Structure 1
Amino acid sequence: MKKIILSIIMLSAGMVAMAQHAPGTVTLQPKVGLNISSMTDADDADPRFGVAAGAELEYQVNSFFSISGGALYSMQGLKGSDDVDVTMKLDYINVPIMANFYVVKGLALKAGIQPGFNVNSKLSASDNKVSGSVDMGDITKTVDFSIPMGISYEYKNFVVEGRYNLGVTKVFKDKELNIGGESIDLSGTDSKNSVFQFTLGYKFEL
């Protein structure tokens, strides 16, 4: 029985070892995809659909484990639709730093940390008669932190990935937002980014 169990373990390890890039390999993965974003305390809001695009570098430590880091332009925020269509546009340059665990051929489980840097912050509104936008840069924090978790599958260097970015820092400063002469106090809000991200990439060995 011990010999059978040992044989199965060795066979499984060999299959995983053959499935991944060789230890010491560095790959570059350009990627593009879709964000479905909202905020943790916005139960009555609709998600904003946006683009995620960028590239990641990955270093294969051994047959089972790698580390990666990258930069992605990420369109985030949310939408509301009552009498007036409202879209909160929060765009970031995110820098995911990931630990990747290869569990079976081509399949990796991922987790890490992700600082993000706000590059656009606007609130747009429109109805049948008028439309306009308000710059929210003064009330939006410049740096955002989140915890990315995901799963990816690689086949012939093409990589399909699903990832969830759970925000851990508040999006807004404790200030007031002025819209059309009216002030909205944000000091009591605890809004954090919540983003589902789906991407397609291709790995190049360097």
Structure 2
Amino acid sequence: MKKFILSGVLLIGSMLAVKAQDVKFGVKGGLNLSKLTSTNGSKVLAGFNAGALVNFKLDNNWAIQPEVQYSTQGTKVKNDILWGAVTTEGTMKLDYINVPVLAQYHIIDEFYLEGGPQIGFLTSAKAKSGGVSVDVKDNMKTVDFGLNFGFGYKFDMGLGIGARYNFGLTNVYDSDKINRKNSVAQIDLFYIF
């Protein structure tokens, strides 16, 4: 399945390269604020993302931008036990290689809105509480699907800033008894060469 999806992304990218008027490459990185949905007592976990992008300008307003980025995600958990007499705190850290493919609409040359699908490949999953860290990757799904929506501003020199929200569409756990999805807000700086 992964090879099929990757082949499809490469095929679409190749077709866009032929039709695109202007192709530019870039790098990006920034802050992630993530949480797993439907988790009682969960709080936002700070992380980061870093990666590369290719921007295919189709005309004056439209562009397609596939990316590959390393993304640290997850959630903080705080549970009250014995009616608040004992509290436990921990984190669930999930690391992904995410591949979003975004359609961008430029309202003006510098400012754009964007949206599109994303596939993520789980590279690591660790639960930590009380100084003890446990590898839980075997309990997680290795592929995650989501949708991205955001906006950005690019200065004339190629430097820019963007904000994006990714909401997961699939359960991150490899179980029907637990249903949690990724929820990630990103603030990035990027540079287009």
* Structure with larger Rg: 1
Structure 1: which 5+ runs fail to align? 1-22, 175-186
Taking the aligned partners of 1:135 and 1:190, their CA distance within structure 2 comes to: 19
Taking the aligned partners of 1:67 and 1:191, their CA distance within structure 2 comes to: 30
What amino acid sits opposite 2:37 in the alignment? T
Are 1:101 and 2:90 counterparts?
A: no
Are 1:60 and 2:57 counterparts?
A: yes
Structure 2: which 5+ runs fail to align? 1-19, 80-86
Per the TM alignment, residue 84 of structure 1 is displaced from its structure 2 partner at its CA by 2.8
Number of residues of Structure 1 aligned to a counterpart in Structure 2: 166
Given the two structures, how large is their TM-score scaled by the length of structure 2?
A: 0.83
Taking the aligned partners of 1:96 and 1:160, their CA distance within structure 2 comes to: 17
Per the TM alignment, residue 44 of structure 1 is displaced from its structure 2 partner at its CA by 2.4
> Which among 47, 69, 78 is matched to residue 75 of structure 2?
78
Alignment map for 1:139-178 (pairs within 5 Å): 139-156=139-156, 157-174=158-175
Per the TM alignment, residue 165 of structure 1 is displaced from its structure 2 partner at its CA by 0.3
3-state SS of 1:33 partner = strand
State the match for 2:134 in structure 1.
134
What amino acid sits opposite 1:102 in the alignment? H
3-state SS of 2:45 partner = strand
3-state SS of 2:173 partner = coil
Per the TM alignment, residue 43 of structure 1 is displaced from its structure 2 partner at its CA by 4.9
State the match for 1:124 in structure 2.
128
Given the two structures, how large is their TM-score scaled by the length of structure 1?
A: 0.78
What amino acid sits opposite 1:164 in the alignment? Y
Taking the aligned partners of 1:43 and 1:135, their CA distance within structure 2 comes to: 22
RMSD after superposition: 1.2
Taking the aligned partners of 1:54 and 1:95, their CA distance within structure 2 comes to: 10
4+ residue segments displaced more than 4 Å: none
Are 1:198 and 2:187 counterparts?
A: yes
